[in-house]
């Protein structure tokens, strides 16, 4: 269906475009990756008539959910439509499922922003940049909608931006949920008759793998580091492959169960049940930007994950015996206190470094525990830096829970 305003938008836009080309401006340079404010200023330069604004200037190139969801109290589905019209084009054939795969359409904005949509701004009204890459009569393409983290393609353009939302995934509820009969889950690797809380001791729960894989594992390769270490590295720390676990980057797994007709709430249209506007917590992070720069780490995923570490920045999932351990031995994921929207509840307790066998925490230092060793060193010399598990925390003083994690003397069998 053609909406009545579309012709007008296209017309205004053509006028803008012609104006721009005669000004020899560069459309190609207008990407969101460039400096935002600079770009907006550049776009507005040709406007000679300066009217003193009565209200503080609003940046219409930077959409915020705060204004629309909190202040204007708009429902998610007043803008986001699911499935989006193009859902069968972005994922082909069997891979396609009813998902939100595109930005909201013009009519979800026009009732309030007619003025901004028809603004005399060059090369195009600022508001277009929230969804479009470069609006021109030849190119009306949009950024890839960010929910399509699993969709790849050389021609697809992603915009790097920080999400205003956190994702709430109640791990504990899903442990109880298993045992339900979901027909197509098996094909996707979900175990229908086992629980997330894998009972088997001799291996990690398979279910966690459905959503969390080892990021860039070393595998059988002899290349163990993420970037080339200096020749004289010795025992010093250098980031290794297989340190991090991934988290889901799309709706693909969630919507196998939470589809529109599965009857399992939340449904796809209930965006707000899974996505919550959050104020990022101000937690100490065990990360050192300078060290990452020295190492020449450019991979955005690695930097993002590393800079979110709040327990142990040096911990490597692929290291030593870690892959053979039960995920739940270190992650409190079966508990209702484990809340993905509240980072501090995701901390890995220091005592889990001891494992069942007392790996890095032993009764006495002679038994070889790394924590015991470092505590001894720190006691002797407060300037000692603990590097076994930490990247930045090791310089600080010892938190109470570290010595407390050392098992006390074993109860004696007979009184002495
Ligand atoms: C007034 C229209 C509008 C409403 C209401 C709205 N959105 Fe959006 N949303 C947008 C637009 C436009 C974008 C793309 C611009 C951007 O990325 O900020 C977007 C982008 C997003 C993104 C990706 C960007 C990010 O910050 O992560 C998420 C997630 C999202 N919306 C979720 C929601 C949820 C959840 C709700 C309801 C609580 C909601 N939206 C309500 C218009 C809206
Ligand atoms: C119910 C009315 C309403 C709807 C619908 C609406 N907006 Fe807004 N929007 C506002 C108000 C009010 C503001 C606050 C600034 C102002 O008064 O213009 C705002 C502000 C903005 C801003 C400035 C930055 C910010 O978020 O504070 C952008 C960009 C924007 N809207 C884009 C959009 C887009 C894109 C859509 C459609 C997807 C949309 N709006 C739908 C009312 C609305
Ligand atoms: C909230 C996101 C959003 C904003 C803001 C936005 N667009 Fe769009 N635009 C879309 C979507 C989604 C489509 C595809 C609609 C469809 O397929 O029916 C589209 C399509 C178009 C088309 C092609 C129309 C057609 O019928 O194929 C043009 C031209 C266009 N937009 C121009 C603009 C201009 C100019 C602006 C700024 C004044 C703008 N858009 C702002 C989301 C947006
Ligand atoms: C069943 C829970 C669930 C529902 C319902 C849901 N999402 Fe998501 N969404 C997720 C998960 C999980 C991810 C991937 C994890 C992440 O990105 O942190 C995701 C990722 C996204 C992303 C990309 C990441 C980001 O924050 O920018 C966008 C955009 C998005 N969803 C938009 C929506 C919109 C719009 C709706 C409603 C039409 C919606 N989602 C409904 C769970 C859900
Ligand atoms: C159905 C998918 C799914 C399964 C299965 C799953 N998780 Fe998660 N997990 C998620 C999502 C979604 C998040 C939140 C991602 C985000 O914050 O955007 C998450 C977050 C986490 C985090 C916190 C990550 C961080 O940023 O610090 C840990 C730890 C975790 N999961 C461990 C586990 C363990 C252990 C299991 C197996 C018992 C498991 N998960 C099973 C989807 C899943
Ligand atoms: C020996 C303890 C241990 C085991 C076993 C373990 N993890 Fe972790 N995991 C950690 C630590 C420590 C962190 C870093 C937490 C932090 O600093 O915020 C972490 C972080 C994570 C993260 C966040 C991303 C990242 O790498 O920083 C996810 C997701 C995760 N683990 C999932 C899993 C899953 C799934 C398993 C089982 C296959 C597993 N973990 C097994 C200790 C462990
Ligand atoms: C194997 C099927 C399955 C998958 C896959 C699945 N869920 Fe669920 N989910 C359920 C069931 C069943 C419930 C109802 C549990 C209950 O009420 O105890 C549920 C409940 C929820 C709830 C609501 C909990 C409440 O408070 O009522 C949220 C939020 C949720 N899931 C998010 C997600 C997200 C996000 C993903 C993807 C990362 C996901 N789910 C993947 C089966 C699944
Ligand atoms: C075997 C691994 C291990 C060793 C060795 C270790 N830590 Fe930790 N440390 C952890 C874990 C896991 C956490 C997260 C748990 C917590 O904060 O309670 C942590 C947390 C911390 C924190 C953050 C506490 C907070 O309030 O957020 C500091 C500071 C710290 N360690 C300092 C040290 C110092 C100093 C040493 C050397 C004496 C040391 N650690 C040795 C594993 C270790």
Nearest to 159, CA basis, from 358, 356, 300: 300
Give yes or no: residues 244 and 331 share one domain: yes
Predicted local distance difference test score (pLDDT) of residue 189? 40
Compute the 3-state secondary structure of the chain and give helix, strand, coil in percent, each to the nearest 5. Answer: 30, 5, 65
Predicted local distance difference test score (pLDDT) of residue 346? 97
Give yes or no: residues 172 and 135 share one domain: no
β-strand partners of 240: 225
Predicted local distance difference test score (pLDDT) of residue 238? 97
Give yes or no: residues 335 and 214 share one domain: yes
Is 318 domain-assigned?
yes
Could you read off the pLDDT of 342-389 as tens digits, one per residue?
Answer: 999 999 999 999 988 899 999 999 999 999 999 999 999 999 999 999
Residue 18 tokens read as 């012609």
Residue 178 tokens read as 């298993």
Predicted local distance difference test score (pLDDT) of residue 360? 97
Share the mean pLDDT of the chain: 82
Residue 261 tokens read as 């007709």
Nearest to 149, CA basis, from 275, 249, 251, 271: 249
Give yes or no: residues 337 and 195 share one domain: yes
Give yes or no: residues 324 and 244 share one domain: yes
User: What ligand is nearest to the CA atom of residue 211?
Assistant: 5
Is 72 domain-assigned?
yes
9 Cα to the center of ligand 4, angstroms: 30
- Domain range spanning residue 190? 162-275+314-348
**How many domains does the structure of the chain reveal?**
2
Give yes or no: residues 80 and 202 share one domain: no
Predicted local distance difference test score (pLDDT) of residue 27? 27
310 Cα to the center of ligand 4, angstroms: 24
Among protein residues, the one with the nearest Cα to ligand 2's atom 41 is: 109
Give yes or no: residues 224 and 331 share one domain: yes
Predicted local distance difference test score (pLDDT) of residue 280? 79
CA angle, 228 then 211 then 182, to 5°: 160
Give yes or no: residues 215 and 121 share one domain: no
Give yes or no: residues 190 and 236 share one domain: yes
Is 374 domain-assigned?
no
C-alpha torsion sign, points 6, 10, 11, 16: positive
Ligand 8 neighbour 344 (Cβ under 6 A): no
Is 304 domain-assigned?
no
CB neighbours of 348 closer than 8 A, spacing ≥ 6? 311, 312, 315, 330, 331
Ligand 7 neighbour 251 (Cβ under 6 A): no
Predicted local distance difference test score (pLDDT) of residue 123? 87
DSSP string, 358-396: TSS--SSGGGT-HHHHHHHHHHH-TT----SS-SSGGGS
Is 381 domain-assigned?
no
Give yes or no: residues 139 and 71 share one domain: yes
Among protein residues, the one with the nearest Cα to ligand 8's atom 2 is: 389
User: What ligand is nearest to the CA atom of residue 173?
Assistant: 7
Give yes or no: residues 169 and 220 share one domain: yes
Is 405 domain-assigned?
no
Give yes or no: residues 58 and 191 share one domain: no
Ligand 4 neighbour 168 (Cβ under 6 A): no
Could you read off the pLDDT of 196-240 as tens digits, one per residue?
Answer: 444 334 333 457 888 999 999 999 999 999 999 999 999 999 999
Among protein residues, the one with the nearest Cα to ligand 7's atom 41 is: 254
Among protein residues, the one with the nearest Cα to ligand 4's atom 43 is: 274
The best mutation among 271, 272, 301 to test binding of ligand 4, ranked by most ligand atoms within 8 Å of the C-beta, falls on 271
Q: What CA–CA distance (Å, rounded) separates 202 from 207?
A: 15
User: What ligand is nearest to the CA atom of residue 277?
Assistant: 1
The residues of the chain scoring below 50 in pLDDT are 1-47, 178-205, 416
- Rg of the chain on CA atoms, in Å: 27
CB 291 within 8 A of CB 391: yes
Predicted local distance difference test score (pLDDT) of residue 416? 43
Distances from the Cα of 382 to the Cαs of 364, 373, 378, 397, in angstroms? 20, 14, 5, 8
């Amino acid at each position: 269906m053609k909406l009545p305003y579309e012709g007008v938008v296209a017309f205004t836009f053509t006028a803008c475009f012609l104006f721009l080309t005669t000004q020899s401006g560069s459309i190609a340079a207008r990407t969101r990756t460039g400096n935002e404010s600079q770009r907006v200023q550049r776009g507005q330069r040709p406007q000679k008539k300066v009217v003193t604004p009565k209200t503080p200037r609003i940046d219409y190139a930077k959409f915020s959910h705060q204004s629309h969801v909190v202040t204007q109290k708009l429902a998610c589905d007043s803008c986001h439509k699911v499935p989006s019209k193009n859902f069968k084009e972005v994922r082909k054939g069997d891979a396609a499922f009813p998902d939100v795969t595109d930005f909201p359409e013009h009519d979800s904005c026009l009732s309030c922003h007619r003025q901004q949509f028809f603004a005399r701004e060059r090369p195009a009204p600022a508001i277009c940049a929230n969804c479009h890459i470069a609006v021109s009569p030849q190119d009306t393409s949009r950024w890839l909608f960010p929910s399509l983290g699993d969709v790849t393609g050389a021609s697809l353009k992603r915009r790097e931006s920080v999400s205003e939302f956190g994702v709430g995934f109640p791990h504990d509820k899903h442990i109880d949920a298993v045992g339900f009969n979901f027909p197509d889950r098996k094909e996707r690797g979900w175990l229908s008759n086992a629980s997330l809380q894998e009972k088997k001791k001799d291996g990690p729960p398979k279910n966690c793998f459905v959503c969390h894989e080892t990021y860039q594992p070393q595998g059988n390769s002899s290349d163990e580091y993420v970037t080339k270490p200096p020749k004289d590295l010795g025992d010093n720390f250098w980031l290794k492959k297989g340190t991090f676990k991934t988290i889901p980057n799309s709706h693909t797994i969630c919507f196998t169960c939470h589809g529109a007709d599965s009857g399992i709430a939340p449904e796809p249209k209930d965006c707000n049940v899974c996505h919550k506007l959050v104020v990022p917590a101000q937690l100490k992070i065990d990360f050192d930007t300078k060290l990452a720069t020295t190492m020449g780490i450019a991979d955005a995923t690695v930097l993002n994950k590393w800079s979110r570490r709040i327990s142990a920045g040096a911990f490597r999932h692929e290291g030593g015996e870690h892959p053979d351990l039960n995920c739940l031995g270190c992650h409190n994921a079966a508990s209702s206190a484990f809340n993905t929207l509240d980072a501090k509840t995701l901390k890995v307790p220091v005592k889990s470094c001891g494992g069942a066998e007392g790996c890095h925490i032993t009764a006495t230092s002679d038994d070889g525990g790394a924590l015991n060793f470092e505590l001894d060193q720190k006691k002797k010399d407060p300037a000692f830096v603990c590097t076994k598990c930490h990247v930045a925390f090791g310089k600080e003083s010892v938190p109470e829970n570290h010595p407390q994690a050392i098992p006390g003397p074993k109860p004696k069998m007979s009184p002495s």
